[in-house]
Amino acid sequence: MRQYVVDQLRPGDYEALKEHLDAAFPGSGVDGLYWIPLDPSFLDPVQLAHTDCQPFYFALELERNRLSAELLIRTLGQVKCDCMRYADQRQIPGILAWVDALCGKLDVRT
């Protein structure tokens, strides 16, 4: 699996991230797993054409000592579709910037 990982979280970092993510992105059904909507401006042509599969997400997993963003773009409505794929060269920087902005907002320093 391709991921962007922020490791060596401090206990206070974990608590701040968990509180923020639980409030902002509830409902994954799995503790520590969050579905983050991908900004529609980052969709590739196939994803744009698959309006029935939208919205698209990337998974964010929070553990006590690490935060990882999965670099797989997925839809929650389909199990398998051509529009679900690894992030491309335009999407990867958007995901990394989103995670970095979240860490900056919550003063997560590792």
Domain count within the chain: 1
Query: Could you tell me if residue 84 is inside a domain?
Result: yes
In a domain, 110, yes or no: no
Which residues form the domain of 16?
3-105
* The model's pTM: 0.91
Q: Is residue 24 part of a domain?
A: yes
* 71-95 burial code (b ≥16 CB/10 A, e <16): bebbbeeeeeeebbeebeeebbeeb
Show pLDDT as tens, one digit a residue, over the chain (110 residues). Answer: 899 999 999 999 999 999 999 999 987 889 999 999 999 999 999 999 999 999 999 999 999 999 999 999 999 887 789 999 999 999 999 999 999 999 999 999 87
Q: Residue 38 has what pLDDT?
A: 94
